[in-house]
Structure 1
Amino acid sequence: MSATQMAGLRLRFFTDPGEFLAVSDDYLRADPVVCTVVTTIAHRLMSQLAEGIAQPDRNWWLAVVDDTGAVVGAGMRTAPYAPYPPFLLPMPDEAAVALAHVLHGRDEEVLAVNGALPTVDLFATELTRLVGGRVQVAQHTRLHELGELTCPPPVPGRLVVATEDDLDLVRRWHAAFMGDADEQAGRPRGTNAHEAPERAEMLRRLRAGRLWFWVDDTGQPVHLSGANPPSFGVARVGPVYTPPSQRGRGWASNAVAEVSRRLQAEGARVCLYTDQANPTSNKIYAALGYRPVVDMANLAIVR
């Protein structure tokens, strides 16, 4: 762990996700929907460490602490894919600017950053002022939380849990999901391909029973939906993918509705991300009862 002091605030860095969670517990619990990505990954990596799976030395966790000792912001750098973008939660503006100086001062190369606005924009703008280059928006996302579920018109078929035997199909459909999301948003196909989970991570999801197919009345899989295990009482839905030949039949709406219903029945708050450039998915989720919570962005630093 290391710490950097500024007027009224400290940036505390951790290499142990468990230590980070212990220090940041009140902050994360105060808004667990907005913090869902950080808490989900922190708990996942804690489990991996308990299993003896080492984490890369480049990983860090950040708690922004005010002069009363309260955590007022957080972030992490744990992405397993290049360029290893930090993910930042809301924090005071001066902390976002200070973080850019700290990472620059220790020669930590940052070519992208993801997370909550305006924090990521302030961070990236200050970093480019220090190192040169410009900030380019790679993707605008929006986090939504489900209120009262509105069930869509029913369609034939049912939701079934995917198993380890379905690994190859799940991986193919997940890769297609990432590519289609790029195309629908007007980006080159494959822009987000590096974010696809590794085989071991996909197996963990299958063993946890958190990936589902919607099968039609013949038993044929026609759609894939997933969800993360709840963290601080919040479960995040994703991926959500329907092959092109099966679209427009209501599979996605019914699958997401049923997944969401089951998660709420377990006592979880339910959320999901949408790409703001994809009007179709935004319309579907709004009709189910999902409401916007916070806007986020994936930013590239182009030199």
Structure 2
Amino acid sequence: MNVISYKSSAVFLTENREVLENREAENSLLLGLAQLAVDQEKTGQEPLALGSWRVENEAGESVLLLFLSTKNLIIACGTSTPSKGALESAVAQLLNSDLPVSGMVGPRPLTDELAALWETRTSHQKTIAMNQRIYELRKVKRLPGMGRLIQAEPSMLPMAADWTFAFGSVTEGITRDEAEKLVQQGYDRKQLYFWELEGRIVSMAKAARPTTHSMTIGLVYTPPEHRNNGYASSCVAALSQQVLNQGFHYCVLYTDLSNPTSNHIYQDMGYVPVCDSVHYRFS
């Protein structure tokens, strides 16, 4: 096995984009974060990427791609299924790098296998933060309900930070400062949207991580007092249609498999399952 280590996210993305885009929806998280890291490198911002690697088999084929962000190790399969030896090589490289791996996110069963091996080699206990499913949508089949989609304005950012903190404290364990930073970034990049009904802001969603053919819909949140009214569904449907109208081929969306209701709603909207994914945390 051969492991290639990259010091530049730009070089990593250039050399591996074609392989990643063979499964673009499945790899949308890695593609989107790598592109964000490239943009940060260009402007001298605080780096999102701590490291990135490609594992090759004896034939020189890419079998495993790894991107370590400040939050998680993002995992992608290459042109063929990685062997146990490839996973061993990846773990050895990560250990040699001496970089912190606090979590892993990627498709199943590949990520399950790598997480189990990491737990064995490091004695860091793994727990599942979320069982996920990745969906893609190419046509919105369910139209939004009453209300309208609006882009975030400066006066809405404190509320958006409150909602993002409430959302992220459950899904990602983010701090209030991190929530405010995410909201500001979303506003600056014109990615943050709300559903407005009769002058009230009742739900939120974000269209982010653009790839060659898609954008990912995320940060879908409705405060408790406005839930069970279909506002999040309307917000996601309208935002998904807007992404398609901008010329993207499809939208990507991650769901929590422990919530069958939302999974059913998104499928009725036109989202089609791509694969299952899992988010592990290590302690």
After TM superposition, the score normalised by the length of structure 1 is 0.83
Equivalent residues, number: 277
Structure 2 unaligned regions, length at least 5 = none
5 Å matches for 1:153-302?
154-179=144-169, 182=170, 192-194=172-174, 197-216=178-197, 218-268=198-248, 269-302=250-283
* 1:142 partner SS: strand
| 227-236 or 85-94: bigger deviation | 85-94
| 89-98 or 265-274: bigger deviation | 89-98
* Inter-partner Cα distance in structure 1 for 2:173 and 2:63: 33
* Inter-partner Cα distance in structure 1 for 2:42 and 2:196: 36
Deviations 1:219-252 (A, max 9, x none): 1111111110521221000111111111122211
| 13-22 or 115-124: bigger deviation | 115-124
2:91 pairs with 1:104: no
Residues 66 and 76, structure 2, Cα contact 8 Å, conserved in 1: yes
2:9 pairs with 1:22: no
* Inter-partner Cα distance in structure 1 for 2:145 and 2:127: 41
Q: Work out the percentage of aligned pairs sharing the same amino acid.
A: 25
* 2:210 partner SS: coil
2:45 pairs with 1:53: yes
| 202-211 or 166-175: bigger deviation | 202-211
* Inter-partner Cα distance in structure 2 for 1:301 and 1:208: 32
After TM superposition, the score normalised by the length of structure 2 is 0.88
Shift of 1:54: 3.8
Shift of 1:70: 4.4
Gap change, CA 1:50 and 1:131, over 3 Å in 2: closer
Residues 161 and 179, structure 2, Cα contact 8 Å, conserved in 1: no
* 1:59 partner SS: strand
Alignment root-mean-square deviation, CA: 2.3
Give, as a single letter, the amino acid of the residue that structure 2 aligns with 1:85.
N
